[in-house]
Amino acid sequence: MNLMKKLEETRKYIEGRLEGRSPVIGLILGSGLGDMADAVEDAVIIDYHDIPHFPVSTVPGHKGRLVIGLLEGKTVLVMQGRFHYYEGYSMEDVVYPIRVMKMLGIRSLFLTNAAGCVNKAWKPGDLMIIEDHIKLVAENPLRGSNPDALGERFFDMTSAYDKKLVKTAEKAAEAKGIEIRKGVYMLFTGPSFETPAEIRFARTAGADAVGMSTVPESIAASHMRMHTLGISCLTNMAAGILDQPLNHEEVLETGERVKKTFSALVREIIRTWPEEMLC
């Protein structure tokens, strides 16, 4: 079945379960932020397994569900659990939910993730607004025949991360008294963490953070001219910066430590999301 037909079937199924809700912001919760979905009020919860053509998470313990309801007075569609390229999904699978969001009429996308900190002046636990990204990974979610109904073959990436949303996020951080960084996120495929040499290379190339997600989603969103904001929780110093090995526990621990602050920031951003990007 072709992509647009599949998307149409997925859209119909989800719309059939929304009972009149019309989500205006798509929110993807990265590692450590999953609990935020519990704050969504008047929620409809849809398991990924039940959604026609939706990829299904392979990671044990990963919640895979859409939570649609009210957060800070706005109807949001939250992805509790995202799809990663390192799990074996194609990039096209990884971005399928973003396309579904667009089919549902959503024009704003809020991506969050956990990332390694490349910038030596920063520290684990810092939050970073993504201003731009670097993708040297050869794969691209738009490789192959272009779905013209979604966007153009060749499309702009200069405003992949909406400048107005960067301002919104900065103001929200200020309002909440949260120190915030701004920088460049570089994609690595994982699941291996990077080598120290790769991290030196990333820094030389202009990266402040490295991670294994977000970039495919942001590309697909740009293709569809959605307004995208990305925020990384820098959970650990990237490889080779400190004299110690990396491990997933540290990522989870830091995520847990800053969860409250990160959630407060996410909520304030949603509360103050620019009106014109909602309808």
Q: Is 213 a catalytic residue?
A: yes
Kindly state the smallest distance separating residue 91's Cβ from ligand HPA, in Å. 17
- Residue 99, class by beta-carbon neighbours within 10 Å (0-12 exposed, 13-18 middle, 19+ buried)? buried
User: Of the two residues 124 and 151, which places its CB atom closer to ligand HPA in the complex?
Assistant: 124
- Shortest Cβ contact with ligand HPA: which residue? 116
For the bound state, the minimum distance from the C-beta of residue 20 to ligand HPA, rounded and expressed in Å, comes to: 38
- Distance from C-alpha of 224 to C-alpha of 107, rounded to nearest angstrom: 9
Cβ nearer to ligand HPA, comparing 119 with 235: 235
Contacts of residue 236, Cβ cutoff 8 Å, sequence gap at least 6: 116, 117, 124, 246, 250, 251, 254
CB 68 within 8 A of CB 76: yes
Distance CA 218, CA 228 (A): 7
Distances (CA, A) of 173 to 20, 31, 110, 226: 32, 20, 15, 23
Query: Can 31 be counted among the known catalytic residues?
Result: yes
Q: Which residues bind ligand HPA (CB under 6 A)?
A: 114-116, 188, 193-194, 210-212, 235-236, 238, 246, 251
Give strand pairing partners of 186. Answer: 134, 210
| Closer of 54 and 193 to ligand HPA (Cβ) | 193
Distance of CA 7 to the CA centre of its chain: 20
Closer residue to ligand HPA in complex, CB, 84/102: 84
Known active-site residue 159: no
User: Is residue 248 among the annotated active site residues?
Assistant: yes
Instruction: In angstroms, give the least distance from the CB of 84 to ligand HPA.
Output: 10
Q: C-beta of 215: minimal distance to ligand HPA in Å?
A: 12
Shorter beta-carbon distance to ligand HPA: residue 218 or 235: 235
Catalytic residue among 62, 72, 140, 253: 62
1 catalytic? Reply is no
Catalytic residue among 37, 103, 114, 128: 114
Quick check: is 236 catalytic?
A: yes
Strands (E), the chain: 25-29, 41-47, 65-71, 74-80, 108-117, 127-135, 180-187, 209-211, 227-237
Residue 187, exposed/middle/buried by CB under 10 A (0-12, 13-18, 19+)? Answer: buried
Check 213, 218, 222, 232 and give the catalytic one.
213
> Catalytic site residue 223?
no
Rounded to the nearest whole angstrom, what is the least distance from the CB of residue 7 to ligand HPA in the complex? 29
In the set 57, 218, 232, 236, the catalytic residue is: 236
62 is catalytic: yes
Token pair recorded at residue 38: 């519990």
**Active site members:** 31, 62, 84, 86-87, 114, 212-213, 236, 248
